[in-house]
Amino acid sequence: MAASAVGRATTAGRMLDLLRTRGTLSRVELAERTGLTPATITNTMRRLIDAGLVHEIGRGHQRGRGQPRRLLELDPTAWYAVGVQIDRTTTTIVVLDFAGVRVADASLRGSGGQSPDATIASLGEHVADLLRCNDIAHERVLGAGLVTHGPQDRDRGVLLTVQPDPAWLEFPLTATLERRLGIPVLLENDATAAAFGEQWAGAVPTDTFGLVYMGSGIGGGVIVDGESYRGRASNAVEIGHIALGQAPCFCGNSGCAQAEAGPRAVVEQALADPDLAARLGIRGDPDETLADFERLARAWRTGDRDAAALLERSARWIGRAAVTLVNLFDLDTVVLAGPAFATAGPLYRLHVESELRRRALTRALSSPDVRLAANVETAAAIGGALHVLRTMPVDVRREPQRIESA
Amino acid sequence: MAASAVGRATTAGRMLDLLRTRGTLSRVELAERTGLTPATITNTMRRLIDAGLVHEIGRGHQRGRGQPRRLLELDPTAWYAVGVQIDRTTTTIVVLDFAGVRVADASLRGSGGQSPDATIASLGEHVADLLRCNDIAHERVLGAGLVTHGPQDRDRGVLLTVQPDPAWLEFPLTATLERRLGIPVLLENDATAAAFGEQWAGAVPTDTFGLVYMGSGIGGGVIVDGESYRGRASNAVEIGHIALGQAPCFCGNSGCAQAEAGPRAVVEQALADPDLAARLGIRGDPDETLADFERLARAWRTGDRDAAALLERSARWIGRAAVTLVNLFDLDTVVLAGPAFATAGPLYRLHVESELRRRALTRALSSPDVRLAANVETAAAIGGALHVLRTMPVDVRREPQRIESA
């Protein structure tokens, strides 16, 4: 990496991250929060201002008899980042500006039934369209975060699973998307990205928490002291495969939370009652699991008892998986995120909290708190884009120039 | 802390830790491994040598045409640390010298049936006796690591559980032992301490691994990149409370690994067969669970089929708990430690490895490896003493003096 490139761990990267989180800060506040010397702050800030990444926006309150402090703020238009979350039923795209604010989003058909090559091709077109329609120049896009279920090899940008089908195993996802988009692409786990996204959204009152992610499958993420738990090779917190019952799971284990209580399992339980399935229009197409699950959730919300019984059973199982998550990672806060919680979220929140309050080992020491994500459907895509903003180096030599697209 | 006191995070602390791990190193090697300048190494090393903590032991191989390098080594007699592991059935005491080598140990009756006050009083006497019999001056003992099951409040030095009985909840364990022994005492979790102990013993070929600890109960520890996973308040990896079945557990949950397959559960299953219990001399006293469990393990080793059936059932359950441990923390290496594995260890190793190879989510990416601890019964006490050596500050101003005890 060139000496002038700044990533998160560098002085400039830390200053950018603080400004992104806090909005505006003075040089004095930056020095206090980083522990860096005023001289270092001044010099680094001069480079960031010259590069157009930061600008001054007038003056803050006067303190004592000193000079009024000039406040600094990121230039939101300096760079943009894309976040793309692929699921079998739905794909979500978001664009964040340099300050981390969402400036565009789109939701489209999932990868179901398509080859990875066709999925990436279509994704590339949609991202290009979204940028063009929002007047965001391709040259101003720092990169894209591609967010999927695990297990992944993040360094090589490939999935290490035959889910959703064998063509996806080891397919060069990030390399193909990089070629299509002409920008760097980072691979990230959906649940971990959602945890980053919710932390950023200010929706979690602690910097140590767990997250249950439910799309077509179930995943988990853990943030400890503001950093994600990665384990050996970033394939951690696979709470969809906590064994709870007897149902066989594709993974080779039995009784996995996903096989007992995931959206696919709930839809199959609904199909076992032909009257219910017909009444709610449940079709059972594996590529439309989330759409069928949403039909059940809407039926529950309008008072359908059969739908409620199926969802409540699932929610109690997820609650028991959350007990193991909390007992193993020593947590008291759990966030629920992902498209499966779009409508059914409140029901799941209630049951997961109830199970934790009955069963978590340290429940008497710190009362378990379960929250529905602020961005329940888009947290993972937002987290993917944030990951780009926070970790990809910005070349501060380069003069920022807003090149308008055609 | 005085400016001349050195802990792990200081320059001197890092150098001491490297010498403790590597045995002997030259100043050049210390500079290479720490990234510190030769001047810093030379100055710090002068203080450590003057204080009697390190000494030179002749010369290493000549490299090129330069001066032969003088090798440095810790003075093993400069300081000592005590590790004490309390369990209901057995208590283990070890004394390590400043180089981390075990110089004394003792095994005594556990805490079962005694009040915490009486337990600590008796423990204090045994530690004092052990030091006296081994000619270790009280003034040369840096501190003691007290190792127990969780949940704990490590800062306050108390247990946050009514196990083994309500008198232990919030009893000032470390403060009482400090008063008895006249040395500082640190509280540590048994499974985490055992993981430190095994890492130090060089028994684990990776710096990211999980540990299943089985004493009277079941605990877990995780080391990632050489550091223990602590979570919110150091009460993590409670794998004894992974829900697997239906049996009610004292914790309020049901089906916990400990309630289904822990030593107490196995002993109770044996008691349900009066012929077996009589044949093996199983008594069922809750304070003697590990002794009864050991009777079963010895019977298995000599070919008793009924004992084998009970232990194999338990080992498969522990294997399923290990699958969840591995799936959540993304591990491929699991170590089994604790007195319950003293005799039955090989049987458990086999079944836990077999379950992981059948069921762990990333088993195809990295073949699971299960090892029996090198110090199966004493790893936790060793880890407690190591924790003292690695984290307690040493006053380098003080001239070391070996004061012989009476």
* CB pair distance less than 8 Å for B232 and A366: yes
The rounded radius of gyration (Å) of the Cα atoms in chain B is 23
pLDDT band for position A4 (50/70/90)? Answer: very low
The interface residues of chain B toward chain A in range 214-273, judged by CB-CB distance below 8 A, are: 220, 224, 229-239, 241-244, 251-254
The three-state DSSP-derived secondary structure of A216-280 is: CCEEEEEEECCEECCCCCCCCCCHHHCEEEEEECCCCCEEEHHHHHCHHHHHHHHHCCHHHHHHH
Residue A301 phi, psi dihedral angles, 5° rounding: -65, -30
* CB pair distance less than 8 Å for B243 and A324: yes
Residue A92 phi, psi dihedral angles, 5° rounding: -120, 135
For residue A232, give the nearest of B235, B242, B332 by CB distance.
B332
Q: Which residues contact A172 (CB under 8 A, 6 or more apart)?
A: A156, A157, A158
Side-by-side strand order, sheet with A24-26:
A24-26, A70-74, A54-59
Cα separation, B295 vs B344, in Å, equals 10
pLDDT for B86 equals 95
Residues in chain A: 406
| Across A26-47, average pLDDT | 91
**A352 touches A344 (CB < 8 A):** no
SS3 B169: strand
For residue A243, give the nearest of B237, B239, B320 by CB distance.
B320
* CB pair distance less than 8 Å for A231 and B330: yes
* CB pair distance less than 8 Å for B359 and A224: no
In angstroms, the separation between the Cα of residue A244 and the nearest Cα of chain B is 6
Place of tokens 């090589």: A156
Residue B367 tokens read as 């073949």
Q: Which residues contact B304 (CB under 8 A, 6 or more apart)?
A: B280
- A209-213, A388-392, B103-107: least confidently modelled range: A388-392
- Of A265 and A12, the structure prediction assigns the larger pLDDT to A265
**A89 touches A295 (CB < 8 A):** no
Peptide bond into B166 cis (omega under 30): no
The rounded radius of gyration (Å) of the Cα atoms in chain A is 22
**Pairing between strand B209-214 and B333-337?**
parallel
Please write the tens of the pLDDT for every residue from A159-193: 999 888 899 999 999 999 999 999 999 999 999 99
Domain boundaries, chain B: 5-74, 80-194+382-395, 206-372
Query: With contacts defined as CB-CB under 8 Å, which chain B residues touch A242?
Result: 242, 324, 327-328
Residues in chain B: 406
- Of A53 and A406, the structure prediction assigns the larger pLDDT to A53
Query: With contacts defined as CB-CB under 8 Å, which chain A residues touch B231?
Result: 208, 224, 329-331
- A53-62, A255-264, B308-317: least confidently modelled range: A53-62
Query: With contacts defined as CB-CB under 8 Å, which chain B residues touch A334?
Result: none
∠ CA(B270), CA(B271), CA(B276), 5° rounding? 60
Best to test chain B binding among A230, A334, A362 (most B CBs inside 10 Å) = A362
Peptide bond into A164 cis (omega under 30): yes
Please write the tens of the pLDDT for every residue from A364-381: 888 999 999 999 999 999
List the end-to-end C-alpha distance of chain B, in Å, as a whole number: 31
Please give the class, per CATH, of domain A5-74.
mainly alpha
* CB pair distance less than 8 Å for B252 and A331: no
Residue A337 tokens read as 């995120």
| Across A354-359, average pLDDT | 96
Residue A36 tokens read as 């860096």
Chain centroid to CA B90:
14
| Dihedral of the alpha carbons of B98, B104, B109, B113, in degrees to the nearest 10 | -20
**B213 touches B194 (CB < 8 A):** yes
Q: Which CATH number fits domain B206-372: 3.90.380.10, 3.30.420.40, 3.40.50.1370, 3.90.1640.30?
A: 3.30.420.40
The residue among B379, B372, B362, B374 whose CA lies nearest residue B334 is B372
User: CB distance from B365 to chain A under 8 Å?
Assistant: yes
CATH topology match: B80-194+382-395 vs B206-372: yes
Residue A280 has pLDDT above 70, yes or no: yes
* CB pair distance less than 8 Å for A324 and B362: no
pLDDT for B8 equals 45
Cα separation, A63 vs A59, in Å, equals 11
CA dihedral (B270, B276, B277, B279) positive or negative: negative
Architecture of domain A80-194+382-395: 2-Layer Sandwich (3.30)
In angstroms, the separation between the Cα of residue A325 and the nearest Cα of chain B is 8
Q: What one-letter code names the amino acid at A184?
A: P
Place of tokens 């985490």: B192
* CB pair distance less than 8 Å for A208 and B224: no
Please write the tens of the pLDDT for every residue from A120-152: 999 999 999 999 999 999 999 999 999 999 999
| DSSP secondary structure, A365-403, as one string | TS--EEEE-TTTTTHHHHHHHHHHHHHSPEETTSPP---
**A334 touches A212 (CB < 8 A):** yes
Mean pLDDT, chain A, integer: 91
pLDDT band for position A351 (50/70/90)? Answer: very high
Q: What one-letter code names the amino acid at B114?
A: Q
Q: Tell me which range, A63-77, A279-293, B29-43, B67-81, is most confidently predicted by mean pLDDT.
A: A279-293
